[in-house]
Amino acid sequence: MARGKRHRVLPGFGLTCGYTLTYLGLVVLIPLATLFLKTSSLTWVQFWTTVTSERALFAYKLTIGASFLAALVNSVFGLIVAWVLVRYRFPGRAILDALVDLPFALPTAVAGISLCALYAPGGWLGGILQKAGVQVAYAPLGVVIAMVFVSLPFVVRTVQPVLADLDQEVEEASASLGARRWQTLRRVVFPSVLPSLLTGLALAFGRSLGEFGSIVFISGNMPGRTEIASLLILTRLEEFDYAGATAIAVVMLGMSFGMIFVINVLQTWSRRGAV
Amino acid sequence: MSIEIQGVTKVFGDFKALDRIDLTVPSGELVALLGPSGSGKTTLLRVIAGLESADEGSILFDGEDATTRHVRERGVGFVFQHYALFRHMSVFENVAFGLRVRPRKLRPSREDIRERVMKLLKLVQLEHLGKRYPGQLSGGQRQRVALARALAVEPKVLLLDEPFGALDARVRQELRSWLRRLHDEIHVTSVFVTHDQEEALEVADRVVVMSGGRIEQIGTPEEVFHHPANEFVMHFLGNVNVFHGRVEGGKAVFGDVAVEHGETATATRSSEIEPLDDEAKPAKVFIRPHEWDIAVYRNGRPAMEAVVIHVNAAGPVVKVSLLSESGEPVHAELPLEHYRSLELRTGQRVFLSPRKVKVFFD
């Protein structure tokens, strides 16, 4: 064996790395490449008119806007849920903890049906809300609610372990130095969970972008009002406009990649100094 | 600022962490709370700080009742065993924290904060590391940052919970004497918790020995070491040989040895027996390892015979393990020169006479 080579307890770099690359290629890269290949059958002008059509532009806006809103809502409430689960012991805590995972496991169609039944104008909440002048089902708000529902676990589950690891002595130190409760929260606790909160936000955002099943039930799929990008892609496919469908898909891919990249940069920034 | 603790009791579940503690810490003193784990010393410190509330009793700061005062209003600086630094803040920001969170009216100006933090960093000899983050510092440096941070708010009382417990032996030794010098400089009333008797004896003005939620003895390091109030303190402050014997006619008798126990035995908590009683009373005889005279020949002094089992001569004090005639292990310590002149060998028969014994009645 070559001298100076590092000895590891478990060898096999060549094998595992080769496997990783093959797997990533087969499962991720080849499908994505096909997407671009298919899109390239369009000319630039065709591509541009397809992806900037009014209907498409609206679909992007709705999808990204609603996803971002859902991720924001979840980062606030998910943080609170995680806090309660970590910091307090109360009867039923284990059940609550398990409930958080439900949106993970639930088929999205089931979620869609139940949300629809609840928020439709004839539904339990829908009726009340309609009287108050708020329409949820068949409106953009419904899209947001469905996204909030499916992406809740991401924030809770990324923040929870970090909160559990937080040393409570640090909070005591802060109090002994004269900090008020909100100062301790803002200056000590919050910065410590911020990186994980941003990760949770990114995951929730990604999940919401890709959500399809539950939204088609509750949104009503009205072009220019409640139609999300994924649905527009499906519509194009059903019209046998494969190239048009992939063109929109490419745009979505680019945008979500960009978003995730920005959030990653934010994360690195918020983690500076921490070891 | 002086601290008065009156009848403080603290119970966790069915565990009594503190049992009617009374203690006064005079202004400007450096006091050590010494005891094994579970003795309640940390709980007492946390009760003083206001991080824990007493179930009974009261805490007075300068004669003023502070029992219900919140920790942020007590004006105490608290140093944690594991530093509890803010990891996302630089060293400078850590130290500045206590000043920055003050209400606007009381908050010093930006320049004042800078000046004060730099002064403190200088005091703890870290002025060049202000921009670093805690993760980039060694344990000893972190603890000094924690101390500077606690001092930044100009506390009237400084409380330290096992401040050197997580550090390695050499750094510990350094910081110990450094803390003593620092206290001599700034004279803030300080209480520190430790389970290390050496640390307590070396650093503190006064030592409070605790066990089982009660105070066993309060005294200067010399007092508690040379005049322990009871068996527990005797055991806890250094190694000691124990023999089951009796007190008869004013003499301590164990094995074949009968010696004057010069110092009148302090009665144990449970008994008030007059020790000069002629009648034999069962008692425990305590002899510190360095209080033995070792002789190679019998020299007329009352002595017990023993065989040398092991000698550890690495250091200025030689540690000798012996086995007495009756089969009890005995530990003795003697200066290196003396050891050399005796020419002790393993297996050799020697005669041990105690210079000083301490007796506690059973």
- With an 8 Å Cβ cutoff, are A183 and B101 in contact? yes
Q: What is the pLDDT of residue A275?
A: 44
Nearest to B153 among A167, A178, A275 (CB): A178
Of B49, B86, B88, the CB nearest to A176: B49
Give B84's contacts in chain A (Cβ within 8 Å).
167, 169-170, 172-173
> Which of 99-128 (B) contact A at CB < 8 A?
101-102
| Per-residue pLDDT at A198 exceeds 50 | yes
| pLDDT for residue B326 | 83
pLDDT of residue A98 exceeding 80, the answer is yes
Q: Distances in Å between the alpha carbon of B126 and those of A140, B86, B120, B137, B187?
A: 57, 17, 9, 10, 21
Q: Cβ A180–B72 below 8 Å, yes or no?
A: yes
- Helix A140-165 × helix A54-87 angle, to 10°: 30
Task: Please report the ipTM that was assigned to this predicted complex.
Answer: 0.80
| Number of residues that this document lists for chain B | 362
Q: How distant is the Cα of A155 from the closest Cα of chain B, in angstroms? A: 21
DSSP single-letter state for residue B66:
-
pLDDT of residue B50: 92
Closest CA to B357 of B251, B267, B282: B251
Nearest CA in chain A to B76: A176
Nearest to B133 among A174, A180, A273 (CB): A273
Instruction: Please give the C-alpha separations between residue A254 and each of A35, A37, A264, B258, B264, in angstroms, as whole numbers.
Output: 12, 15, 15, 95, 90
Nearest to B135 among A174, A191, A274 (CB): A274
The answer on pLDDT for A270 being more than 80 is no
d(CA A53, CA A37): 21
* Nearest-by-Cβ selection for A273 from B80, B88, B150: B88
Structure tokens at A258: 């960009």
Which chain A residues have a beta carbon less than 8 Å from that of B160? none
CB–CB of B296/B319 below 8 Å? Answer: no
pLDDT tens-place values along chain B, 362 residues long: 899 999 999 999 889 899 999 999 999 999 999 999 989 999 999 999 999 999 999 999 998 898 888 988 888 999 998 999 998 899 999 999 999 999 988 899 999 999 999 999 998 889 899 999 999 999 889 999 999 999 998 899 999 999 888 788 888 888 888 889 889 888 899 999 999 888 999 999 999 999 999 999 999 999 999 888 888 999 898 889 998 888 877 777 887 777 776 554 443 333 344 444 556 778 888 899 998 989 888 887 888 889 999 999 888 899 999 998 888 899 999 999 888 888 888 899 999 988 888 888 87
Residue-level pLDDT at B221: 94
Q: Using a CB-CB distance cutoff of 8 angstroms, which residues of chain B are in contact with residue A176?
A: 49, 51, 71-72, 74, 76-78, 150
Query: For residue B89, which residues of chain A lie inside 8 Å, CB to CB?
Result: 191, 273
Nearest C-alpha of chain A: how many angstroms from B249?
57
> Is B32 within 8 Å of B196 (Cβ atoms)?
no
**pLDDT band for position A5 (cuts 50, 70, 90):** low
DSSP H stretches of helix in A166-241: 168-176, 181-184, 190-210, 213-219, 229-238
CA nearest B12: which of B54, B49, B60, B50?
B54
Would the CB atoms of A177 and B133 count as touching at under 8 Å?
A: no
CB pairs under 8 A between A and B: 79
Of residues B210 and A195, more confidence is placed in B210
How far is the alpha carbon of B16 from chain A, nearest alpha carbon, in Å?
A: 23
Task: Count Cβ atoms within 10 A of the Cβ of residue B259 and give its class: 0-12 exposed, 13-18 middle, 19 or more buried.
Answer: buried
How close, in Å, is residue A74 to chain B by CA atoms?
A: 24
- The answer to whether the beta carbons of residues B77 and A176 sit under 8 Å apart is yes
pLDDT band at A133 (very low <50, low <70, confident <90, very high): confident
In chain A, the largest separation of any two C-alpha atoms, in whole Å, equals 79
For the record, the structure tokens of B75 come out as 């004006």
Distance CA B362, CA B359 (A): 9
Hey, are the CB atoms on B102 and A178 less than 8 Å from each other? yes
Choose the mutation target among B81, B83, B88 for the interface with A, i.e. most A CBs under 10 Å: B88
Which residues of A lie inside 8 Å of B (Cβ-Cβ)?
Answer: 167, 169-170, 172-180, 183, 187-188, 191-192, 273-275
Q: What is the chain A residue with the closest CA to B96?
A: A177
Q: How many angstroms separate the CA atoms of B34 and B209, rounded?
A: 5
Distances (CA, A) of A91 to A78, A163, A267, B139, B170: 20, 20, 35, 40, 49
In this structure, which amino acid lies at residue B188? V
What is the rounded CA–CA span in Å between residue A229 and residue B148? 56
- A174 and B49 within 8 Å at the Cβ level: the answer is no
Residues 6+ apart with CB under 8 A from A19: none
The pLDDT value given to residue B308: 93
Model pTM greater than 0.80? no
B131 inside 8 A of chain A by CB: no
H helices then E strands: how many in chain A? 15, 0
Provide the 3-class DSSP secondary structure of residue B316.
Answer: coil
Whether the predicted pLDDT of A83 surpasses 60: yes
Chain A partners of B153 at a C-beta cutoff of 8 Å?
177-178
Q: Which pLDDT score is estimated for B277?
A: 52
Nearest-neighbour CA in chain A from B210: distance (Å): 24
pLDDT at A272: 64
